[in-house]
Amino acid sequence: MKSYQHKVQYYETDGMGIVHHSNYIRWFEEARVDLLEQLGCGYDRIEAAGFGSPVLAVSCQYKTMARFGETVQILARITAYNGVRMTIGYEIFDAQTGTLRCTGESCHCFMQQDGRPVSLKRSRPELDRIFSRAADASQNTD
């Protein structure tokens, strides 16, 4: 998978000229959507299949500060998947220097439009295979 890149915008910074901490979580979401598209099952496909993938939990560990005008590189990978839940791990680096800016993860479930959890193993085996392979590939790179 290729990484996702984001150029830091001025509005993402605070009074000290550094990126406000909440923006890293937004970047995680941008990278997650990009990862799903790279896997061939973009969010549009997921929604067309009649379900969503809401966030259950998110965590972020800040390492160094990003500033306006910098470009960050976000590596996203599926670190856990069981057919109903999926965890995505993130690493954000300065694209020019390679300096680690933060790490984190987000946990998601798959849910039908009526709000009930759905098992992709039973309802969408083709998507289940894609996510299972991605999670297995991630485990083999650790």
117 DSSP 8-state letter: B
Backbone angles phi, psi at 20, to 5 degrees: -65, 140
Q: Which CATH class is domain 4-139?
A: alpha beta
Q: Residue 18 pLDDT more than 70?
A: yes
Of 68, 57, 141, the closest CA to residue 104 belongs to 57
Sheet order of strands, 71-81 included: 4-7, 71-81, 85-94, 100-109, 55-62
Q: Residue 142 pLDDT more than 60?
A: no
Q: Residue 141 pLDDT more than 70?
A: no
Predicted local confidence at residue 90, as pLDDT: 98
Write out pLDDT tens, residues 73-94.
Answer: 999 999 999 999 999 999 999 9
